[in-house]
Amino acid sequence: MNNSKKVALVTGSSRGIGKAIAIGLATSGHKVILHALHESEALKGVEHELKTLGAWASTTIFDVSDKKGVESACALVLENVGMVDILVNNAGVANDKPFIKMTDQEFDAVIKTNLYGPFYVTHQFLPKMQENNFGRIINMSSIAVRGAFGKTNYAAAKAGVIGMTKSLALEVGKYNITVNAVCPGYIDTELSAAIPKEYRSQFLKQIALGRIGSPEEVANVVTFLASEQASYISGAVIDVNGGWL
């Protein structure tokens, strides 16, 4: 099946890795639906950038952790475009704190967005993918699944994403739907810029390539997984971390 000019939805695509993925998919010829939790100038800016590239682009606003909100927003997306062929579950939050000081609410909020979010959103688009006998689902996990100080909630959610990815791949392969996960390492985003300088130096010492990665380098892998060239890759977990030892 020709995989050009398909409809892609990228959650959390107003900045950082999500923005780079949206641009990568648009550059590859896909129609792109951008997503964010709130309307913002940043989101409008990404939409304008895609249209400047000559791509078809639109936006949708909802909270991935709110089941009812996801259902209504995604139903409207399907009503407007008919089909989402490529789904990138990228939206996520972090709320770091030592485990002993972490409250139920702080643990639950991260699990709800980072694990329930992909579950809720995928639930809305998977039936149409099955009906159409085609789909690409790419879930963003993290190097944090190896374990990271203060990230028990985040690491648990991202590890759950990997388990969900592998299991779902087994269920939907017969529909010509691939499901894969990408685990970024130390990437140059607003989130990493907030990390204290001494910690950033420690991270770089653990990376074989000795440098921070770019959002575009992650987006290149996602764009490949969405393409026909990756049609025989499913249930995979791909590290994009510069050889983090």
Kindly state whether residue 245 falls inside one of the protein's structural domains.
no
pLDDT at position 62, please? 98
Kindly state whether residue 244 falls inside one of the protein's structural domains.
no
Kindly state whether residue 2 falls inside one of the protein's structural domains.
no
Overall residue count recorded for the chain in this entry: 245
Kindly state whether residue 242 falls inside one of the protein's structural domains.
no
Kindly state whether residue 50 falls inside one of the protein's structural domains.
yes
pLDDT in tens, the chain (245 residues): 444 589 999 999 999 999 999 999 999 999 999 999 999 999 999 999 999 999 999 999 999 999 999 999 999 999 999 999 999 999 999 999 999 999 999 999 999 999 999 999 999 999 999 999 999 999 999 999 999 899 999 999 999 999 999 999 999 999 999 999 999 999 999 877 777 788 788 889 999 999 999 999 999 999 999 999 999 999 999 999 999 98
pLDDT at position 4, please? 56
- Calculate what percentage of the chain has a pLDDT beyond 70: 98
Query: Residue 127: what residue type?
Result: P
Kindly state whether residue 69 falls inside one of the protein's structural domains.
yes
Q: Both tokens of residue 68?
A: 């009812």
End-to-end CA distance of the chain: 38
Kindly state whether residue 241 falls inside one of the protein's structural domains.
no
Kindly state whether residue 131 falls inside one of the protein's structural domains.
yes
206: Cβ–Cβ under 8 A, 6 or more apart, which residues?
A: 244, 245
224: Cβ–Cβ under 8 A, 6 or more apart, which residues?
A: 230
Strands (E), 172-224: 177-184
pTM score of the predicted model: 0.96
pLDDT at position 80, please? 96
Query: Residue 28: what residue type?
Result: S
Candidate list 116, 154, 186, 199, residue with the active-site label: 154
210-to-182, 199, 200, 207 alpha-carbon distances in Å: 20, 14, 11, 5
Domain that holds residue 97: 7-236
Question: CATH number, domain at 21?
Answer: 3.40.50.720
| Domains of the chain: total | 1
Q: 120 catalytic, yes or no?
A: no
Query: SS3 of 196, please?
Result: coil
